[in-house]
Amino acid sequence: MHDLLPDWVAVEVAREADYLADLLPEEAAALSARAVASRRREFTAGRSCARRALARLDVHGQPLVPSENRAPVWPQGTTGSITHTAGYCAAAVARRSDLCAVGIDAERRTILPANVRAAICRPEELAWCARRPDEDWWPAVHFSAKEVVFKLWSPIVGTWLDFLDARLTIDVETSEFEAQILPGRLAKSPGAPTTFRGRFHATPDLVRSAGVVTT
């Protein structure tokens, strides 16, 4: 993820030990006793990466408890984002004096079924994908980038944002994306940002995306 974010965002990608790290008591209490092993591992790796990244900002030993909307409550003066998918987990954190929000996302690069594509991509986005020579995997990039948009929107606006509430423009040359929030959603969200920007990177099996909103 380092390559997709400004230098002053602290990013940590999980190593095997992060999946087996200790949780702080508040975090362990927040993780349901019924959580399956895979959920326990990803939750733990995210917290462990985030704690290491926060240490680089001189923030130590703070629990990262999920809030009601499932986003972690970041220590005072900081903000961050966590992502996990099979075989990959990362956390990114920054000082609130530098930015309002950071969002990161990683997804296995898969060919999404038609019904999932239609739930994520607007008709004009599907038409754009269809014009690409390698059209099959661009919906996965839309999916990942839109999850970044949600992770930027959610801490700033605090409300739901549907996949079809944003129209994505992808620059294939620069690997950048821009998301325009559509008027219907903006009318219900006074003062919300209208545009979010980020970058993405895709390998044959992983799509990563990230963005920031600066102060």
Ligand X SMILES: CC(C)(COP(=O)(O)OP(=O)(O)OC[C@H]1O[C@@H](n2cnc3c(N)ncnc32)[C@H](O)[C@@H]1OP(=O)(O)O)[C@@H](O)C(=O)NCCC(=O)NCCS
Smallest distance, Å, CB 156 to ligand X? 10
C-alpha closest to that of 149 among 97, 198, 80: 198
Q: Which of residues 74-93 bind ligand X (CB under 6 A)?
A: 82-84
From 5-13, 16-24, 63-71, 183-191, span contacting ligand X (CB under 6 A): 63-71
Strand partners, 13: 90
CB of residue 158 to ligand X, shortest distance in Å: 9
Helix (H) / strand (E) element for 33: namely none
Return the C-alpha torsion angle 15, 20, 26, 30, nearest 10. Answer: 100
Residue with tokens 């060919």: 111
Assess 140 for contact with ligand X (CB under 6 A): no
Q: Give the one residue of 69, 159, 194, 195 binding ligand X; rule: CB under 6 A.
A: 69
Which residues are CB-contacts of 100 (< 8 A; sequence separation ≥ 6)? 79, 155, 156, 213, 214, 215
Nearer to ligand X by Cβ, of 2 and 40: the residue is 40
What minimum distance in Å lies between the beta carbon of 133 and ligand X? 26
CA–CA distance, 11 with 130 (Å, rounded to integer): 34
Name the residue nearer to ligand X (CB basis): 9 or 82: 82
Compute the half-sphere exposure of residue 114: CA atoms within 13 Å on the CB side of its CA.
2
Distance separating alpha carbons of residues 164 and 181, to the nearest angstrom: 9
Cβ 47 vs Cβ 23: under 8 Å:
yes
One residue of 43, 74, 138, 200 binding ligand X per CB under 6 A: 43
Binding mask 98-137 for ligand X (x = CB under 6 A): -------x--------------------------------
Instruction: Kindly indicate which of the ranges 11-19, 110-118, 122-130, 143-151 contains the residues binding ligand X, using the contact rule CB under 6 A.
Output: 143-151
Nearer to ligand X, 34 or 133 (CB): 34
Candidates 12, 13, 30, 46; binder of ligand X (CB under 6 A) is 46
Q: Which residues contact 67 (CB under 8 A, 6 or more apart)?
A: 73
> Please, are residues 193 and 212 in contact by the beta-carbon 8 Å criterion?
no
Least Å distance between CB 4 and ligand X?
14
Q: Could you list the residues that contact ligand X (CB under 6 A)?
A: 42-43, 46, 66, 69-72, 82-84, 105, 146-147, 149-151, 154, 161, 163, 165-166
